């Protein structure tokens, strides 16, 4: 019997990140922080930017909903950023057209709220007027001072006018915009709000109160009256030189990117590390409850979780294996550093090493799977989770059952007969 040889993971050629930590806990005493996640429509979402940062940087948990993996969504246009390289003001730069689009969205959102078009225009004009750069530091007060007198005693409007500290409160325009837009745009603007009321609505309110200052963007606009004709040319179509400039405004329709955790990741953070709390509405869920809920949402949750937990406890980073038709992809340290080494299929079997398989494979499908895996320079691994035959349903209803589970890993390799002969390789 031969054991499969361990092949060291392939390092990525260009690494842009620094490795911080394998887990969000464990860096010594004072570093503990309880992160918060919410159950929204059967998925787990982390909204607070600090939590998002922490969970992703330390262990590569989750995926930004508007990004490929790391939540790096920004409305900034990269081509504009490189064009205006001189001005490094650390604000996103967007085209005027894009900005206007957002103004339109904010407008329709406000209209859905029931404002008449006159007040909508007023609100938006005020909100989106150009701002001087220096105000960013502290002097928010002077520019917002004049906004106070424009509004009436309407409740919503008083919220708008009552924002002398831009750092603390979110202007109502965005709040409402975010709220209403969810009804319209659904998952697009993932604020966690749903059309119906109920706890989701409240969680939205709570989340909003924690959000940060308005987003300041630089809009590339044409300068007024800056057309200059070239002299002495006879052509009809003249080169109109338009001067462009950057104007600082507030984004009236800000989109927040959240971190979505897979069920296994969320459960691991709650159960194994104790550094995450999952809320439903305002209710923190217990571990048992989570185990039950997740198993309902995803029938094979227990199996995939056991595999996830096992690989995490070995120091590897498991991510979702959907792209390769398997359950998990194993990375060493994290996706930015190494290419995934293993593509894992998890199966639960009993003491007699048999069980109803989630993926009953024929040799045909196994060879197909092996081929695609090998083409991506990974190895196909079958992970069998062996549970004792005397394990009852009751025992399986708690994650404590993990302690009695055994794990058997197998690597699928293709034996090449002609090459083996000439190279005298070890099998």
Partner 1 sequence: MEAGCSRRLRRNRAPRRSCGQKEFAPDGSAEQDERLRLCLEEQWRQLAEERVERPENLVKAVWKPEQGIVELESPAGKFWHTMGFSERGKQCLLPEEALYLLECGSLQLFYKDVPMSVQEAYEILLSQEAMSLLHYQVFSHLKQLGYIVLRFNPSTVLSSCERQLNLESRCKSSGKHHHKRRRSSSPGSREKKHKVSEDLPKAEGTCEKGGHDCGELSCVPLDEKPLSEQLKELDTGNGEEQSVTSNSVPLDTGRKNVPGPSWSLGTGDQKASSTGTHAPRWDFTTIFLPNVAPDQPCIHLPSPDNKLLPENVPGREVDAASWCRRVNQKQEKLLQKEREQQEKESKYKSSINFDREVRCCINWQEYKALLRWRSQQRVWRQPPHLWGQAVTPLLQPEEATSFAAVRQQISVLQPSHILDGASRLQEDLESIKIDFNVYQADAVAKFKKTNPGKPYVRMCVQSFDEQVPSLRALKQVTYQSGDVPVVFALADHGEIAFYSLKEFKLPVDANY
H or E segment to which residue 294 belongs:
helix 287-297
CA dist list (Å): 35 to 25, 56, 106, 376, 403:
11, 12, 31, 35, 26
Residue 272, interface with partner 1 (CB under 8 A)?
A: yes
Give the shortest CB-101-to-partner 1 separation in angstroms: 34
* Residue 61 structure tokens: 């948990």
Helix (H, G, I), strand (E, B), or coil: what is residue 100? Answer: helix
The reply to whether 40 sits near partner 1 by the rule CB under 8 A is no
Tell me if residue 339 is catalytic: yes
Nearer of residues 242 and 371 to partner 1, judged by Cβ? 371
DSSP states along 120-183? HHHHHHHHTS-B-GGGGSSTHHHHHHTTGGGS-S-HHHHHHH--S-TTT---HHHHHHHHHHHH
Q: Show contacts with partner 1 in window 138-197 (CB under 8 A).
A: 196
Q: Which stretch binds partner 1 (CB under 8 A): 107-115, 152-160, 172-180, 280-288?
A: 280-288
Residue 116 neighbours by CB distance under 10 Å: 10
**Which of 249, 250, 312, 378 is close enough to bind partner 1 by CB under 8 A?**
312
Any contact of residue 353 with partner 1 (CB under 8 A)?
yes
Q: Which is nearer to partner 1, 28 or 232 (CB)?
A: 28
- Return the number of the residue (116 or 282) whose C-beta is nearest partner 1: 282
Q: Which stretch binds partner 1 (CB under 8 A): 22-30, 107-115, 173-181, 230-238?
A: 22-30
Active site residue 331: yes
Among 277, 295, 300, 372, binds partner 1 (CB under 8 A): 277
Chosen residue from 10, 11, 15, 32 binding partner 1 by CB under 8 A: 32
Strand partners, 248: 131, 218
Q: What spatial distance separates the first Cα and last Cα of the chain, rounded to whole Å?
A: 10
Q: Is 368 in the site for partner 1 (CB under 8 A)?
A: no
Q: Which of 258, 125, 98, 107 is nearest to 180 (CA)?
A: 107
Q: Is 97 considered catalytic here? A: no
407 binds partner 1 per the rule CB under 8 A: yes
Residues 203/282, Cβ–Cβ less than 8 Å: yes
Q: Judged by CB under 8 A, which stretch of 117-125, 183-191, 229-237, 398-406 contacts partner 1?
A: 398-406
Does 198 interact with partner 1 (rule: CB under 8 A)? yes
Tell me how far, at minimum, the Cβ of 378 lies from partner 1, in Å: 13
Task: For Cα atoms 216, 219, 220, give the angle at the middle one, nearest 5 degrees.
Answer: 155
Q: Which residue's CB is nearer to partner 1, number 289 or number 323? A: 289
381 burial class (0-12, 13-18, 19+ CB within 10 angstroms)? buried
- Contact flag: residue 394 with partner 1 (CB under 8 A): no
Residues with a known catalytic role: 331, 339, 378
């Amino acid at each position: 019997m031969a054991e499969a040889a361990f092949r060291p993971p392939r390092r990525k050629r260009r690494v842009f990140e620094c490795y911080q930590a394998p887990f969000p806990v464990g860096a010594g005493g004072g570093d503990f922080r309880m992160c918060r996640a919410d159950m929204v429509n059967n998925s787990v979402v982390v909204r607070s930017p600090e939590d998002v940062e922490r969970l992703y940087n330390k262990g590569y948990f989750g995926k930004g909903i508007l990004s490929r993996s790391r939540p790096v969504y920004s409305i900034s246009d990269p081509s504009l950023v490189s064009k205006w390289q001189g001005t490094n003001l650390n604000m996103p730069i967007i085209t005027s057209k894009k900005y206007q689009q957002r103004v339109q969205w904010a407008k329709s959102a406000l209209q859905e709220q029931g404002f008449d078009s006159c007040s909508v225009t007023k609100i938006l004009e005020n909100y989106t007027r150009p701002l001087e750069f220096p105000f960013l530091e502290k002097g928010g007060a002077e520019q917002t001072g004049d906004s106070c007198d424009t509004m009436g005693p309407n409740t919503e409007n008083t919220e708008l006018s009552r924002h002398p500290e831009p750092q603390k409160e979110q202007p109502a325009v965005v709040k409402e915009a975010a709220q209403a837009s969810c009804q319209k745009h659904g998952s697009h603007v993932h604020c966690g709000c749903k059309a119906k009321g109920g706890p989701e609505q409240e969680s939205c309110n709570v989340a909003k109160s924690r959000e940060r200052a308005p987003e300041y963007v630089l809009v590339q606009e044409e300068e007024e009256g800056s057309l200059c004709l070239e002299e002495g040319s006879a052509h009809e179509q003249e080169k109109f030189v338009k001067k462009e400039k950057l104007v600082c405004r507030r984004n009236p329709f800000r989109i927040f990117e959240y971190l979505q955790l897979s069920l296994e990741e969320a459960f691991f953070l709650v159960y194994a590390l104790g550094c995450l709390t999952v809320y439903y509405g305002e209710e923190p869920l217990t571990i048992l409850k989570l185990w039950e809920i997740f198993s309902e949402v995803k029938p094979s949750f227990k199996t995939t979780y056991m595999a996830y937990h096992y690989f995490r406890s070995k120091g590897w980073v498991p991510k979702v294996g959907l792209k390769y038709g398997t359950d998990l992809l194993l990375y060493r340290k994290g996706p930015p550093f190494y290419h995934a080494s293993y593509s894992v299929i998890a199966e639960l079997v009993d003491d007699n090493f048999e069980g109803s398989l989630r993926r009953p494979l024929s040799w045909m499908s196994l060879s197909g799977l092996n081929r695609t895996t090998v083409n991506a320079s990974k190895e196909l691994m079958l992970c069998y989770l062996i549970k004792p035959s005397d394990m009852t349903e009751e025992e399986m209803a708690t994650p404590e059952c993990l302690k009695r589970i055994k794990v058997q890993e197998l690597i699928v390799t293709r034996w090449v007969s002609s090459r083996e002969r000439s190279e005298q390789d070890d099998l």
